[in-house]
Amino acid sequence: MKWTTEISGLLKDVELRKNPVIVRVNKFDEKSAKEFQDQIATAHNTGQNIIPVVIDSYGGQVYSLMAMISAIRNADIPVATIVEGKAMSCGAILFSFGEEGYRFMDSSATVMIHDVSSMERGKVEEIKASAEETDRLNKLVYEMMASNCGKRKDHFLKIVHKKGHADWYLDSEEAKKHNLANQIRVPTLKIKIDVDIAFE
């Protein structure tokens, strides 16, 4: 994603106090979640009226995803999500949290949806507890994604179940069919700097 700048010919010099923020997500770990939260906070002070979140990721840790979701839910300005390349696993869930009408996907990009994974090893009781938590998170993320896309809460869960819980790859057209993607294109952030001279 790029931005363009249109500056009034009446201005000689222009210096923005803060450049607009375009958040880029490649990983889902503790460090990237913290950076994500910081960038979302910074975007509130730039004067921009929307926060673009560009996703190109294979996925990662679900708890880090939850921290990013929290940042979006608590943002005071709308968030647009844009898939460039791929949005897999956690990336697909984050994609769904773009404002309705502002979920963009490049025509050649791919989304992949699958069940939450558990890597727990240890005692039997620990494995059981981990399995229960994994099942809870799995149901939660599928329901959140369905809600974001205006679908019944079991919409995506049923499809994945029918596919034998195998990885489900969606191209841009199929993602749009499920209302995961709203627009098949990559938008441009346009910065317009003008002069308003009025007599009162």
The CA radius of gyration of the chain, in Å to the nearest whole number, is 19
Average pLDDT over residues 30-44: 97
Structure tokens at 117: 């994974």
Compare 60 and 196 and report the one with higher pLDDT.
Answer: 60
- Report pTM: 0.89
Q: What percent of the chain shows pLDDT beyond 90?
A: 72
Closest CA to 95 of 189, 21, 172, 152: 172
Average pLDDT over residues 4-9: 84
- Number of C-beta neighbours around residue 188 at 10 A: 10
What is d(CA 114, CA 138) in angstroms, rounded to the nearest whole number? 9
Amino acid at 15: E
Where exactly are the structural domains of the chain? Answer: 2-193
Structure tokens at 181: 């993607």
Query: pLDDT tens digits for 71-90?
Result: 999 999 999 999 999 999 99
* Inter-residue contact 157 to 93 (CB < 8 Å): no
CATH code reported for the domain at 2-193:
3.90.226.10
